[in-house]
Chains A and B, each alone.
Chain A
Amino acid sequence: MRPAAARTQLTFVRTQLKNNTADRLESRSALPWPIQLAVPVASLITFGIHLLFSKKWPPLETRSYVLLFWEILGVSIVLSIAQSFWAGLRQWMRHMWPIFTAAILLLGLWDVITSGMHLLPLPYFPGPATVLRSLISDRALLLDSTWHSLVLLLSGYTLGVIVGLVSGVCIGWSTSVRYWGMPLLKVVGPIPATAWIPLAMVVSPSAIVSAAGLIALAVWFPVTMLTASGVSNTRASYLDVARTLGAGRAYLIFRIAIPAAVPNIFIGLFMGLGASFLTLVVAESVGVKSGLGWYVSWAQGWAEYGKVYAALIIMAAFFSTVMTLLFKLRDRVLVWQKGMIKW
């Protein structure tokens, strides 16, 4: 190498090194002040808004909301101190703090619109303090409703998935089952499960059983459809290779076609999960006398809209947790696809 070229090379390497060190220092150093302060400042702003507008409210009514702010403030200060000793926490805060800040500010905006300026009619749009109060005062019933919803959801979903997998594999693998099964699937499948409610009420002895059946039906269609297409689209060369390795039919179905269909099956599982949430809530508000869907329509009947929103918050947390668990399961099962999944 010529000296000049060598020098350029060296400078390049040195710059690289310097950049690397800079990166490393960046990630090791304390969280920047703006990020550290964002959550406490946001909660102070929202709290200020609340104090400004709530003078006319009796203090008892919003005590829990005020308490919530003291808690947020306290926790955020403790975490700001803790993060200088704990890199993992710092990483997490760097990622999550902007979101939390926005959420707290949105709470303030909500307060301004409802209890502040009365832009939306009461009692349909209560302020955040009222909702929080309902959430806390009615927690026993809410917890009980969540539990009932969970049991109903899981039993219906599991049943739908099992039946859907079996029928999907049969339709996908066997041409004669496909011939007879596919038209049925195409005609019956697209009917929303909730449209069967009148029939389900007549046929089934108990509302819970018919609700579980409807959820299962809602899940069954997408799972069957996607499983069948995954199985029937198994690469022919995988099957050829397996045959020359001495594979029989059971091996071809269970060790080749089904694993090859798993990415598709998961799409079906996600679609089915969405459909099952919908069916669950509708079935609960129509026939079943328990669960979050029932709670919402019951609270609405008493015009207690604070409770309606409290139940919606619980529902959001509950459904997104279930969804997250399914994502985790997918990441674990599809580890062989790592780097190929984009959703």
Chain B
Amino acid sequence: MVMTNVAAGSALRVDEVRKSFAVPDAPGTRRLVLDGISFSMAAGELVSLVGPSGCGKSTLLRLIAGLDLPDAGDLLVGEEEILGPSAERGLVFQDPNLFPWLTVRRNIEAGLVARGVLHEKRHEVDEFTRLVGLGAFGSAYPHHLSGGMSQRVALARALINHPKVLLLDEPLGALDAFTRMRMQDEVLRLWENRRTTMLLVTHDIDEAIYMSDRILVMTRAPGRIDRTIDIKLLRPRDRTSDSFLRLRSQILEHLHFAGKAADV
């Protein structure tokens, strides 16, 4: 198994990013989705992005992935500007989006095939299949897998490229509560193991507090980063400890307020 203690991730900097979309119903008008987003992440940091739905979290993630380009502002990984998608920035969606025509193993090796390095790195396929605990399911097709298993495959598929930044768009959102908690530990284990920089979008405040070094709270319409909360608790964290619960109510209160303000 790959065990690296050096930070494999890269720093990420988002500077005054704005993004708007055309409104399909009203031609000529544009809706501002992100209004001057700025933040930065240190290499190997795990940061969560929370906020009401429709605040542009997913849009921001797509910009960082390079799938869309911003109207204004800079996005930098290390010193490099983001100009398009790249294997250096992995993305995992809420829907695992496994390619249904490929077996688990072929899904995991997709990144190696896409980059044309399957031949040199074939040994890593087994490694990553085992890393996510799916050694016995290599030849299964995705429609045989449960939600949790599918999401593990999606994680392995993103990780096999050794991305410098891993973007997670509510990856555990569709799982039941128990699977979800187990998968949170799983993701943490992968993060500690790989030390990749992780940006996690989530609806779940508990998940954000349990997992991240820092939480960015966004407001809605247009999306702005409203607040940053450092989580200083030691890992593994206790979901029932006083300090955990205090943070929780603090964020909830804030979100409730932010939501109301936006609704007016």
List chain A positions with a Cβ less than 8 A from chain B: 235, 237-238, 240-248, 251, 255-256, 259-260, 262, 335-340
| Interface pairs (16), CB distance under 8 Å | A237-B95, A238-B97, A242-B114, A243-B66, A245-B111, A245-B157, A246-B161, A247-B114, A251-B113, A260-B99, A262-B101, A336-B100, A336-B141, A336-B142, A336-B143, A338-B143
Interchain CB contact (< 8 A) of A246 among B62, B87, B100: B87
B99 and A238 within 8 A (CB): yes
- Chain A contacts for B143, CB-based, 8 A: 336-340
Cα–Cα, bound, A240→B100 (Å): 15
- Interfacial chain B residues near A245, Cβ < 8 Å: 87, 90, 110-111, 114-115, 157-158, 161
Residues of A within 8 A of B65 (CB): 240, 244
The total of chain B residues at the interface (CB under 8 A) is 28
Q: Chain A residue with minimal CB distance to B114?
A: A247
Chain B interface residues toward A at CB < 8 A: 62, 65-67, 85-87, 89-91, 93, 95, 97, 99-102, 110-111, 113-115, 141-143, 157-158, 161
**A244–B87 CB distance below 8 A:** yes
> At the interface, is chain A mostly helix, strand, loop or mixed?
helix
Q: How far is the CA of A238 from the CA of B91 in the complex (A)?
A: 12
Question: Residues of B contacting A246 with CB < 8 Å?
Answer: 86-87, 111, 114-115, 161
List, in ascending order, chain A residues with CB within 8 A of B90's CB.
Answer: 244-245
Q: Which residues of A contact B89 (CB under 8 A)?
A: 244
Which residues of chain B are near A243, meaning CB under 8 Å? Answer: 66-67, 85
Which B residues touch A247, using CB under 8 A? 114
Closest partner residue, chain B, to A252 (CB atom)? B114
Residues of chain B within 8 A of A244, CB atoms compared: 65-67, 85-87, 89-91, 158
The contact of A237 among B93, B100, B157, B161, by CB within 8 Å, is B93
B139 to chain A, nearest CB (A): 11
Closest to B157 in A: A245
B residues in contact with A335, CB < 8 Å: 141
Which residue of chain A has the shortest Cβ distance to B96 in the bound complex? A241
Contact (Cβ within 8 A) A242 B110: yes
> Which of B85, B91, B143, B157 is the most central at the interface, judged by chain A CB atoms within 10 Å of its CB?
B85
For B87, B91, B114, B115, the residue with the greatest tally of chain A CB atoms inside 10 Å of its CB is B114
Across the two chains, which residue of chain A brings its CB closest to B91?
Answer: A244
Q: Are the CB atoms of B97 and A255 closer together than 8 Å?
A: no
Besides A237-B95, A242-B110, 17 other A-B contacts (C-beta < 8 A)? A237-B93, A240-B97, A244-B89, A244-B90, A245-B111, A245-B114, A245-B157, A251-B113, A251-B114, A255-B110, A255-B113, A259-B101, A259-B102, A335-B141, A336-B100, A336-B142, A340-B143
Residues of A within 8 A of B110 (CB): 242, 245, 255
- Enumerate chain B residues within 8 angstroms of A259, measured Cβ to Cβ: 99, 101-102
The distance in angstroms between the C-alpha atoms of A337 and B144, with both chains bound, is 10
Distance, CA A246 to CA B85, complexed state (A): 7
CA distance A259 to B158 in the complex (A): 20
Find the A residue at minimum CB distance from B65: A244
A242 and B93 CA atoms in complex are apart in Å by 12
Select which of B87, B95, B101, B157 is within 8 A of A260 by beta carbon: B101
The 10 A-B pairs with the shortest beta carbon distances in the complex, nearest first, are A246-B87, A243-B85, A245-B111, A247-B114, A244-B91, A246-B115, A259-B101, A336-B101, A336-B141, A246-B114
